[in-house]
Structure 1
Amino acid sequence: MLYTGIDLHRRSIVMCTVNAEGSVVARTKINTDPDAVVAYFRQWTEPQRAVVECTSNWYWLCDLLRSLDIAVVLAHAKYLKAISYAKVKTDAIDAHTLAQLLRMGFIPEAHQLPPEYRAMRDLLRQRMVMEHKRTTLMLHMTSMLAKFNIIQFPVSPATSGFADFIGSCAIPEQYRITLLMYHQQCQLVTDHENQLEAYFKRQLRPTPTLQLLVSIPGIGDITGAIIAMETGNIHRFADAKHYFSYCRLAPGAKDSGGRHTHRSGSKDGNQYLKYAFTEAAIKAIMHYPEIRQFAARLERRSNPTIARTVVAKELARIVYYVLTRQQPFQTFKGMKVTKRHDWPRTCKPVRITGLPTSQDVPTA
């Protein structure tokens, strides 16, 4: 068996191959040319394994190596750094370290979504990126108007009628020009986001997983699709606590010398699941009186942000048990919730393509 460590960059690849005894068989640096990669690995007829870090451009390389019947391990970049620190760090050393860790079985693996689901997952991620851009533009407009004590608006900054409101405001012309530009950008981003959402809904299909998810308060078809895509196989999580942590809904801890401190703001985990569950919590508090009362009790003891996060964590707990047990939603914190007719309870797609079930998505 041969083991190859790959240090992947945008324009170049550094590879180091070792044998079962740990001796270096070959080293090379090549351009990111698929033909050159194929030629390197076809030097040997022995079984081979390869490892590459989960950088932003690993898709094509993993797919290429799998087409050559080479088992590929995707290394978790942050956890890998914790066990492979070195004073001297070069591309060649990194590739050699990866190969040796792979040979010894010490690679911390990252989750890999099957290739057939990546495009739809990335489409949903781009939709969220556009939402963030739109929110940023709206904040720019409201903060600029606040300079002139204009804090109440007849229409939302995201609507087309806000341009007329800007024209009626008593502000210097320089600010008016900037505000109108921000508003045009906001309208453009909104149009693009709507196009992505319409395309996705045309591709959506009612899998058992999605039907289970939309039975949960606050989760509609788009949010349910995000949760299904980003979660993958729910059985890869040992228990609900590990799932909370992956969703960025569990605070960190910093204990030392008998002092216990919670550490918030950790970037470990999946930012898209954090977003999806936060959005679901907002909708659940808005549409379900029982959940709204639960959140209000938390707000009196803490603040709205903590209350919303606790609701999001409870929704993540429900998602975990709904998917592991394959049973629809029953109660929220032991309470039956009122079903609202103005909130969609089932997924109604147009076409039958594209979304995995929890059984479809294997663990890496």
Structure 2
Amino acid sequence: MVMPSYSKSKFFCGIDLHKDNMFVCLIDNTGKIIFHKRIPARYSELKAVIGFYLKDCVIGIESTYNYYWLQDACQADNVTFLLGHALYMGIGNYKQKDDDKDSFRIAELLKNGNFPVAYAFPPELRELRDLLRERLKYVRCRASLYCRFKGKVDQYFGYLEKFDGSLIRSYAKREEFINSLKSPSLKLIFSHLHHYIFFFDQGIESLEKDIWKKMVTDYPLSMKILNSIPGIGDILSMSILLEIGKLDRFDSVQNFSSYCRVVNPARNSNNKRVDNKNCKSGNVYLKWAFSQGACLLIRNSPQIKIMFNKKVSAKGKRVALATMKHKLAVAVYNMLNKKTMFDINLFVKSMS
């Protein structure tokens, strides 16, 4: 067994990170504990207690919501930083659990070369990715406001054709409807909903423009490649690229498909299904992007729609959609890897 390069360091630091403090365990390559104590969650505090050892030290933490600042500080100080996969870190836990045992266990995993390394996004990509994720949250908030506006219309006036389907998104239609109301209380209800929707419209549009400018400047070829897929626009292209990060972090298209959650994680024993674990292991945003992309691809390409309908007749709609998502993910991986545009004939051939 080839030991990973990080296990050849002289010192190993396991950190159990919390919001306002962190339990630090520093050991050497013989397993001797050098420092084992809780300190405030600041890099200056960490450097004050183990700064002498940082030159030849590996720092490892379990993936938490608040690790960004520590990653950035370590990279700025040229200290090796490793992020632990939260799921696999839980395997082989001690019977008793507390912060000092967790930090010591992380340090031991680093020393023994068994630390389950997760991908820590580069700061420049991570910030842009988080900005796009914020945009998705705003879109969902706006969608809930649409539902509340439409629900109030149905509640007080029944079905109105002017607000059927996507017509409720029209600023002018909503404004015209509010001006026609006679009840001051109703006018106030709908006015507030209308203004909140408009507020989110402006915020979402502004975010999209800022992210798009950055993406077409830094990744023009990748954006062009993904935009060549029928139905895949700028938003889905940006989502896919920013959630992938660096494509070379995936050893194969199989690993990429698994990460995108477009393959079935079969868990069988003696020709029987054991359980449904690992169904949510992977990136939920990429799963959403490829689910949306598959539906848009079917809608915008008559040739692919014919092939999809054949799959529906043979296997059912659920299996056909799952196959479409998987094939789209494989196509995106190969296109970005080989830097080629979408070939509809090749895609149809892969579906047959």
- Tell me the TM-score normalized by structure 1: 0.80
- Tell me the equivalent position of 1:311: 324
Higher relative contact order (CA 8 A, sep 6+): 1
Residue 48 of structure 1, CA deviation:
0.6
Are 1:109 and 2:121 an aligned pair?
A: no
2:196 aligned with 1:185, yes or no? yes
| Residue 278 (str. 1) matches residue 291 (str. 2) | yes
TM superposition shift of 1:247: 0.9
Q: Which residue of structure 2 lines up, in the alignment, with residue 296 of structure 1?
A: 309
Instruction: Give the residue type in structure 2 aligned to 1:109.
Output: V
The residue number in structure 2 matching 1:323 is 336
SS of residue in 2 equivalent to 1:248? coil
Match of residue 245 from structure 2: 232
The AA in structure 2 aligned to 1:200 is I
Give the distance between the partners of 2:161 and 2:85, measured in 1 at CA: 47
| Contact residue 267 and residue 276 of structure 2 kept, 8 A | yes
Note closer, same or farther for the CA distance 1:299–1:133 as it changes in structure 2 (3 Å cut): farther
Quote the residue 1:97 is aligned against.
105
1:246 aligns with 2:259: yes
Matching residue within 227, 231, 236 for 1:218: 231
Structure 1 residues 162, 253: closer, same or farther in 2, change over 3 A?
Answer: farther
1:156-180: CA deviation from partner (whole Å, max 9, x where unpaired): 333222354477699x997876555
Quickly say closer, same or farther: Cα 1:165–1:87, change in 2 above 3 A.
farther
Return 86-95 or 214-223, whichever deviates more: 214-223
Give the alignment's TM-score, normalised by structure 2. Answer: 0.83
Q: CA 1:182–1:78 in structure 2 vs 1: closer, same or farther (change >3 Å)?
A: farther
Q: CA deviation at 1:35?
A: 1.7
- Going from structure 1 to structure 2, the CA distance change for 1:180 and 1:318 (only over 3 Å counts) comes to same
Would the aligned equivalents of 1:158 and 1:183 in 2 still touch at CA under 8 Å? no
Contact persistence 1:159–1:187 (CA under 8 A): no
Runs of 4+ that moved beyond 6 A:
166-170, 172-176
Does structure 1 retain, via aligned residues, the 8 Å contact 2:212–2:238?
A: no
Change beyond 3 A, Cα 1:44–1:333: closer
Match of 2:35 among 16, 26, 35: 26
Q: How does 1:49-68 map to 2 (within 5 A)?
A: 49-68=58-77
Per the TM alignment, residue 319 of structure 1 is displaced from its structure 2 partner at its CA by 0.7
In structure 2, the residue matched to 1:357 is none
1:203 and 2:211 matched = no
Please give the alpha-carbon distance, in whole angstroms, between the structure 1 residues aligned to 2:318 and 2:150.
21
Deviations 1:203-240 (A, max 9, x none): 23253323322222232233222212211232332332
**Mapping for residues 107-146 of structure 1, pairs under 5 Å:** 107-143=115-151
Distance apart, 1:326 and its partner CA: 2.6
SS in structure 2 opposite 1:157? helix
Which residue number corresponds to residue 3 of structure 2? none
- Partner amino acid for 1:237? F
Q: Please name the residue that 1:7 is paired with.
A: 16
How far apart, CA to CA, are the structure 2 residues paired with 1:332 and 1:219?
A: 17
Q: Distance in 2 between matches of 1:46 and 1:334?
A: 50
CA distance in 2, matches of 1:121, 1:157: 30
CA offset at residue 301 of structure 1? 5.4
Q: Aligned residues: percent identity?
A: 27
Separation of aligned partners in 1, 2:149 and 2:316 = 27
Q: CA deviation at 1:16?
A: 0.5
Q: Using a 3 Å threshold, how does the CA distance of structure 1 residues 311 and 64 change in structure 2: closer, same or farther?
A: same
Structure 1 pair 95/45, CA: closer, same or farther in 2 (3 Å)? closer
Question: Using the alignment, how far apart are the partners of 1:10 and 1:45 within structure 2?
Answer: 23
What's the CA shift string for 1:303-348, capped at 9, x where partnerless? 6565444323221110111122232222355549xxxxxxxxxxxx
Using the TM superposition, give the Cα deviation of residue 242 of structure 1 relative to its aligned residue in structure 2, in angstroms: 2.0
Distance 2:108 2:120 in 1: 22
RMSD, aligned α-carbons: 3.0
Q: Is the 8 A contact 2:307 2:348 kept in 1?
A: no
How far apart in 2 are the matches of 1:22 and 1:322? Answer: 47
Write the distance in 2 (CA, Å) between the matches of 1:144 and 1:327.
49
- If each structure's helix is expressed as a fraction of its own residues, which one has the higher value? 2
Structure 2 alignment gaps of length 5 or more: 1-9
